[in-house]
Amino acid sequence: MRRAASLLFATLAFVIGGVAVERIGLAADQPKSKQQAKKEQLKKFKAKQAARQKAKQAAKRRAEAEDEKASAAKPVEPPKRATPNPSPAAAVAQMIDEHIDRKLAEAKVPAGPAASDDEFLRRAYLDLTGVIPTAAKTRAFLDSTDPQKRAKLIDELLASETYGKHQADLWVPKLFPRDSANRFVLREPLAKWFADQFNADTRWDKLVYDLVTASGTVADNPAVTYYLANRSVDKLTDTVTQHFLGVQLQCAQCHNHPFNAWKQTEYWGMAAFFSKVQPQNPRNPNRGGDAMQVGVRELPVKSRLRNFFPDSAKDVPPKFLGGPEPKLASREPYRPELAEWMTGPRNPYFARAMVNRTWGQLFGRGFVNPIEDMGEGAIASHPELLDALTREFVKSGFDVKHLTRCICASQAYQRTSKPSGSEADPALFARMAVKVMTPEQLFDSLGRVTGFDRQMERARARAPKRPNAPTPRDQFVQFYLAGAEQAHPTEYEGGIPQALKLMNSRIVGNPAAVRSIAPPGTKPAEAFEAIYLAALSRRPTGEEVTRLKEYAAKAGTPNEAYGDILWVVLNSSEFTAVR
């Protein structure tokens, strides 16, 4: 019913003063007695409507053909990039530790001890691949006597497919707002594009250049999804400056920023680079629209997309943030100019923003916080180290895996998250922060232990599915985020509904999961170890074994006891912690 109604709405809708309002008072006064007259009227109305539609489409085709002709000019050459020249990871790690240790010494705070193997293993897995290790992997790592095993693990995880998937989980929510305007825009192709780029270790300057200059259809170039999901100059300006340059410009959209020097003209100067982008409106897949064939072009003229320019928009020439106005011919594309300036080795924001973000992902806090607010007045906890890592990142050819490898190899990253003595300022990095799993990490990790995600996927494969229907993982994530875009890295943000779901739904209370971890007949001590290795990535302590034995002795059957213990472990704060 509602679908039929919205279909009708779509055909009847037109615009009064920028507000979509439906056709008002159409044939308002119908003669009630004359059925025939009513039918006639409807027929006439439909014919008129169809004719109008046809004329509109023809006009649109003409305009598009014109643009096509104009934009078929020479393709833009991508910028020349310097050959990568990374320093050895161990040397960079040492440099990191010198800086961190100097600050600790100045503050007279002792550095915490190194992380145990189990802490390191679980942390590296969650930070680099977004999921906990399997029990078998944990056992092998803990039992290995190879002195290089930590460095080898970092390399192994950076080379795994899940590395890119995890990075996509972190990036897509920043660039793809979950709002009603995007309900027919596909999220999946962008997620896959990011995963592939990160797995291929595409240079960060190239990745962002490709994203900012993206044209074509989703099928040809999934990066255009960024434009399809942000169909106005202000959204594009906000996301680009915030996520790639680490500068919060939004406030300058409507007024000069009260706390720093950003002026409205800076904002609209940046926005002007996007002024000729023409993303197509999404097509409803439930009505046969092919969302893969929707695309983005840069026109030789201002974009014609409705609502692409907000009312507050100021018409100013393109101007780099805090920089000059480039000389641009109005028919030349603007985006390559912007992308080249943004991702250039001398851009004051670009590399720094990525270094701060990468550090923040791994440590739960950046050198500058909030992570994406590095503009004027921002104070870095370790300014020299931030500068040095930025130089190394540029020198390495904007190599994100290299940067990550260097940081993970440092003693600072490999410290325990247990506090020793009194609590020091977390900005000193005397110990690793205890982070909290993101909803994606929680879903994947619960799935690794219990296999519930595969059950849900199977059920979904059997059920008839609407195009663009959310996956079980997507639903779980939405349920956890409850409208927020992304979770806070070090805070437990679940509410009562989330706790109820974990305690009482079949996600955790799945008898098959217990049987696969500790099959009937498993001796108690072995079962406890198997459960702890599978869920907590460690062996139980002697004290814990004693406690669990006491518990099992009182429970009904051994299997019931193992089920209880798995339930307890999965509902514990330790499970959701990235320690």
Partner 1 sequence: MFRSEKTRRDFLRLSAAGVGTVSLSGWLKVLAGHTASEGSSPSARKHKSCILLWMDGGPSHKDTFDLKPDSKGAGDFKPISTSALGVQISEHLPQLAKRMHHGVLVRGMSTPEGAHPRAKYNLHTGYREGQGGLVYPSLGAIVSAEIGDPKAAVPNFVSIGNRSFGSGFLGPKHQPLIVTTPSRGVEDLKAAVTDRQFANRLGLLDQMEKAFYHEYRAGAAVDHKTTYERAVGLMKSKEAKAFDLSREPSAAKEKYGSGRFAEGVLMARRLVEVGVPFVEVTLGGWDTHQDNFARVKSLSGQVDAATAALLDDLKDRGLLDSTLVVWMGEFGRTPGINPTGGRDHFPVAWSTVLAGAGVKGGQAVGKTAEDGMTVADHPVSVVDFLATVFSAVGVDPSKENNTPEGRPIVLVKGGTVIKELVG
Stretch 247-266 residues interacting with partner 1 (CB under 8 A): 248, 250-251, 253, 259
Q: Which is nearer to partner 1, 154 or 371 (CB)?
A: 371
CB nearer partner 1, residue 58 or residue 484: 484
Contacts (CB under 8 A) with partner 1, residues 39-78: 41-42, 45
Closest to 109 (Cα-Cα) out of 325, 351, 426, 330:
426
Minimum CB separation from partner 1 for residue 368, in Å?
9
Looking at 4-12, 130-138, 354-362, 462-470, which segment touches partner 1 (CB under 8 A)?
Answer: 4-12
Least distance between partner 1 and beta carbon 182 (Å) = 10
Helices vs strands, H then E, count in the chain:
27, 7
Select the residue interacting with partner 1 from 292, 326, 551, 558 (CB under 8 A). 551
Minimum distance from residue 133 beta carbon to partner 1 (Å): 19
Q: Minimum distance between the CB of residue 64 and partner 1, rounded to whole angstroms?
A: 25
Helices marked H in 216-330 — which ranges? 225-228, 233-239, 245, 251-254, 264-271
Q: Residues 147, 288, 324, 377: which binds partner 1 (CB under 8 A)? A: 377
Task: Using the minimum distance from each CB to partner 1, give the nearer residue, 21 or 107.
Answer: 21
Residue 243 Cβ, how far from partner 1 at the closest point, in Å? 11
Q: How far apart are CA 172 and CA 235, in angstroms?
A: 15
Q: Answer yes or no whether residue 292 interacts with partner 1 by CB under 8 A.
A: no
Judged by CB under 8 A, which stretch of 211-219, 354-362, 466-474, 544-552 contacts partner 1? 544-552
Helix (H) or strand (E) holding 499: helix 496-504
Q: How many residues bind partner 1 (CB under 8 A)?
A: 102
3-state secondary structure of 433: coil
Residue 380, classed as helix, strand or coil, is coil
Q: Which amino acid makes up residue 281?
A: N
The backbone region for 41, taken as left when phi is positive above 0, alpha when psi lies in -120 to 50, beta otherwise, is alpha
- Give least dist CB 180 to partner 1, A: 3
Q: Is 5 in the site for partner 1 (CB under 8 A)?
A: yes
User: What is the footprint of partner 1 within residues 490-519 (CB under 8 A)?
Assistant: 490-501, 503-506, 509
Q: Among residues 219, 380, 481, 545, which is the contact residue for partner 1, using CB under 8 A?
A: 481
Phi/psi-derived region of residue 482, left when phi > 0, alpha when psi is between -120 and 50, beta in every other case: left
Alpha-carbon span 447 to 444, nearest angstrom: 5
452 binds partner 1 (CB under 8 A): no
User: Which one-letter DSSP state was computed for residue 83?
Assistant: P
Which contacts of 531-535 are long-range, i.e. CB under 8 A and separated by 24 or more positions? 531/562, 531/565, 531/566, 531/569, 532/569, 533/135, 533/138, 533/139, 534/134, 534/135, 534/138, 534/448, 534/449, 535/132, 535/449, 535/566, 535/569, 535/570, 535/575
Which class for 139: exposed (0-12), middle (13-18), buried (19 or more C-beta within 10 A)? middle
463 binds partner 1, rule: CB under 8 A: no
Using CB under 8 A, pick the residue from 155, 201, 474, 564 that binds partner 1. 564
Please tell me whether residue 560 binds partner 1 under the rule CB under 8 A. yes
> ∠ CA 377-381-383 to the nearest 5 degrees?
75
Quick note: the x/- pattern for partner 1 over 120-159, rule CB under 8 A, is ----------------------------------------
* Binding piece for partner 1, criterion CB under 8 A, among 164-172, 202-210, 370-378, 467-475: 370-378
Euclidean distance between CA atoms 502 and 505, whole angstroms:
6
User: Which residue, 42 or 469, is less far from partner 1 as judged by CB?
Assistant: 42
CB closer to partner 1 out of 24 and 72: 24
Q: Which of residues 225-244 bind partner 1 (CB under 8 A)?
A: 232, 235, 238-239, 242
Structure tokens at 82: 């310097």
Question: Amino acid identity of 364?
Answer: G
Show the site string, 382-421: x = touches partner 1 by CB under 8 A, - = not. -----------------------------------xxx--
- Verify binding: residue 160, partner 1, rule CB under 8 A: no
Map the footprint of partner 1 across residues 300-359, applying CB under 8 A. Answer: none
Residue 30 binding partner 1, by CB under 8 A = yes
d(CA 406, CA 127): 14
